[in-house]
Structure 1
Amino acid sequence: MRAGKGTDEMEEQAGTSFLGLVVDAVVSLVVNLGLGFWHIIYALTHPGLWLDWSDKESLLRFVYYGGSKELLFVFLDVVIVLSVIGFVHRPFLWALVRGLEKIANTTGRVAAWFGLLMVLQQIIVVFLQSIFRQGEISISPFGGGFTESVGWFSESLKFENALVVALCVSYAFVQGSHVRVDLIYAGVKHRTKRAIDMFGSLFFMLPVALLTWMYAWFFLWRHLITPKVSASDALDRMLMKARIVKWNVETVSFSANGFNGYFLFKILMLCFLSLVILQALAFFYRSFLEFVEGEESAGKYLDKDTLGEGEETFEGTY
């Protein structure tokens, strides 16, 4: 009897403890969402506290908040407000979708030209290095000279390739160019597809991108300033470094006279994540609108590239 009574008490305590954790989590969520609006107002009314980089404390505040939970809740507040407005007034949500997809398409279409630049640059490097035995390349279209070794231009192809990948990712998503492994999607109804799309963008695409941002942000700044900062640093601890912090931009190359702008790869990571986050929102909103409005709205306002009439086979739309 005593053993049974003790077990019941333990189960009751466990249930109470779990309920308390849930309540605490909900309260914390509500409080942080509320504080997010305050942080937006405070940041906009006090830009000098985080944009005046001549003040080292201001620089470190920018570094801290750029990958903080405070920024996360500010982002969530903005998304919630836009979503509520859009759910009530669907034309606004369509305009938001078109705007976000416009960003993806424009960025991708511009960045795609670097693919051509890579080809031309590789040809020039091969000719100058292997045939003419030149060690340097000078570029001065407007009088200002820019001279680097052939090895520098050869290694910079890696950056240009990364630039195409990072900046064309959401563009390729909008165009439907990503490889897709389909097990059940093609055989289900229209609204089921849209429900799957909403779930995937909201519970997979967006959280992974946001989590990666919070670590990639500090990964970038660890290669821009010293002493190194960490995602685990509290604001007070980070501000204590203000007196000794200084710029230390990574310019190390993997070979003598090689490409020395490897910190740009870290910036590209954040550009990549920004585009993925925006596209996740656009995809969620588009899926929601197509779910609500039915099959006739599929592909509505979608700006897809075309090779012209009769070339659908080569566009992958067959």
Structure 2
Amino acid sequence: MEEAATGGAFSAILNGLAWFFGNIAMSFYNLGYALTHPASWLDWSNSESVMRFVYYGASVELFFVILTTFIVLTAIGMWRHSVMWGMVRGLEAFHNTVGRVAAWAGLIMVLQQVIIIFVQRIFARPDISFGFGVPVTFDVSWWSEELKLYNAMIVALCLAYTFVQGGHVRVDLLYAPAKYRTKKVIDMFGSLVFMMPMAGLMWLYSWYFLWRHLIVPKPSASEGLERLVMKARALRWNVETIGFSPNGFSAYFLFKILIVVMCGFIFLQGVVFFWRSYLEWKEGPESEGKYHDHDNLGPGEEAYDHAEF
């Protein structure tokens, strides 16, 4: 009995390893096929292409394509540090640019709130119109609820930017007194074990949460590609336009899109943080903060670098 159990466990391990490395090998083919046959998943005039896009957006195939790409790029970067530094600088610049642009939503939100108050209290108007020629006109309550979209944009699009700028407060008793190289090991471990897997898990839930409010029949994460392609025969767009009030904001699907984008940004920043931590660990204390594009808040004021208490 013990020998049978040991043999079964050994066989299961071998099967698992074969499945893992088999998917790693297939990821090269899957990526190549997706790039050379974009119409099979990007031609949204074809309902089957839409369902393929939905399936592959949170599939095992996509997971292994991303994993393999990460492994290959990391291996190249370990061989040539200049390549890894280039990827770090490029992705951090991307997150900084997106965050700095999205941060202006805060000003827009304040100005729009002021306009709403003036229209309601001074001009006693029930609606607000923006634009010339064919203006966009909605009820005041629509514009009031739409303010939440600006909040969501700031949160979703500025998370990675804030991380790059060191704006997230870290409260700990072990990290602060640790040695330089120990800190970098902790950062690499946190990126691989916590940040990237959590972003991936959030993506899986938010992906189908988004598409269940865009199309019918509603897709499910438990359905395979064949099943979804079969359901494509009855596919039609059913974009969520229900507000919390009769005349309220009617584009709540935008919030769900922002959730998916946020998860992607967090995952990318986890990758960047791992690469930066590795390079700073490998090259020593003199490389800490290398190529950091920190915002200057004013004369004598510098952005916090992972504020600690």
TM-score class, shorter-chain normalisation, is over 0.9
Give, as a single letter, the amino acid of the residue that structure 1 aligns with 2:111.
L
Q: Deviation string for 1:5-49 (max 9, x for gaps)?
A: xxxx43x33333322222221111100011111001111111111
- Counterpart in 2 of 1:138? 129
* Aligned: 1:167 with 2:136: no
Opposite residue 78 of structure 2, the aligned amino acid is F
Partner SS for 1:138: strand
Residue 115, structure 1, aligned to residue 115, structure 2 = no
Is the deviation greater in 126-135 or in 89-98? Answer: 126-135
SS in 2 for 1:219: helix
Instruction: Report the counterpart of residue 26 of structure 2 in structure 1.
Output: 35
Could you tell which deviates more after superposition, 236-245 or 86-95? 236-245
Q: Which residue of 2 aligns with 1:4?
A: none
Which residue type is aligned with residue 257 of structure 1?
A: N
> What's 1:14 paired with?
5
1:33 alignment partner AA: I
Secondary structure of the residue aligned to 1:261 is coil
How big is each residue's C-alpha offset from its partner over 1:185-226, in whole Å with a ceiling of 9 and x where there is no partner? 010111100000000001110011112112211111100000
- Give the structure 2 partner of residue 218 of structure 1: 208
1:250 paired to 2:258? no
Q: Does 1:280 align with 2:270?
A: yes
Structure 1 CA distance, aligned partners of 2:222 and 2:171? 37
Tell me, what secondary structure is at the counterpart of 1:303? coil
- More moved, 72-81 vs 252-261: 72-81
Question: How far apart, CA to CA, are the structure 2 residues paired with 1:138 and 1:91?
Answer: 52
In structure 2, what is the equivalent of residue 127 of structure 1?
118
Q: Does 1:52 align with 2:43?
A: yes
Query: Are the equivalent residues in 1 in contact too, given 2:160–2:269 (CA < 8 A)?
Result: yes
**Which whole-Å CA distance do the structure 1 matches of 2:247 and 2:15 have between them?**
57
Q: Secondary structure at the match of 1:307?
A: strand
- SS in structure 1 of the partner of residue 152 of structure 2: helix
Q: Is it true that 1:80 corresponds to 2:80 in the alignment?
A: no
Q: Which moved more, 1:285-294 or 1:73-82?
A: 73-82
In the alignment, the residues of structure 2 paired with residue 316 and residue 100 of structure 1 have an alpha-carbon distance, to the nearest angstrom, of 20
Structure 2 unpaired stretches of 5+: none
Over alpha carbons, which structure has the higher Rg?
1
How far, CA to CA, are the matches of 2:201 and 2:105 in structure 1? Answer: 29
User: Per the alignment, in what secondary structure is the counterpart of residue 148 of structure 1?
Assistant: strand
Please tell me whether the aligned partners of residues 214 and 239 of structure 2 are also in contact (alpha carbons under 8 angstroms).
yes
- Name the counterpart of 1:264: 254
Quote how far apart the aligned CAs of 1:305 are: 0.4
Q: Which residue of 1 aligns with 2:226?
A: 236
Cα offset for 1:144? 3.5
Deviates more, 1:16-25 or 1:27-36: 16-25
Cα root mean square deviation, aligned: 1.3
- Share of identical aligned residues, percent? 54
Q: Deviations over 1:138-183 (max 9, x none)?
A: 1115x34111111011000111101100000000001111121212
Conserved? CA contact 2:119–2:125, under 8 Å: yes
Structure 1: distance between partners of 2:208 and 2:85: 35
Q: Distance in 2 between matches of 1:65 and 1:311?
A: 46
Q: Which AA in structure 1 matches 2:42? A: L
Say which SS state the counterpart of residue 67 (structure 1) adopts. coil
Tell me by how many angstroms 1:130 deviates. 2.4
Q: How far off is 1:274 after superposition?
A: 1.0
The SS at the match of 2:296 is: coil
Query: Is 2:140 the partner of 1:158?
Result: no
Name the structure 2 match of 1:194: 184
- In the TM superposition, residue 132 of structure 1 has moved relative to its aligned partner by 2.0
- In the alignment, structure 1 residue 23 sits paired with structure 2 residue 17: no
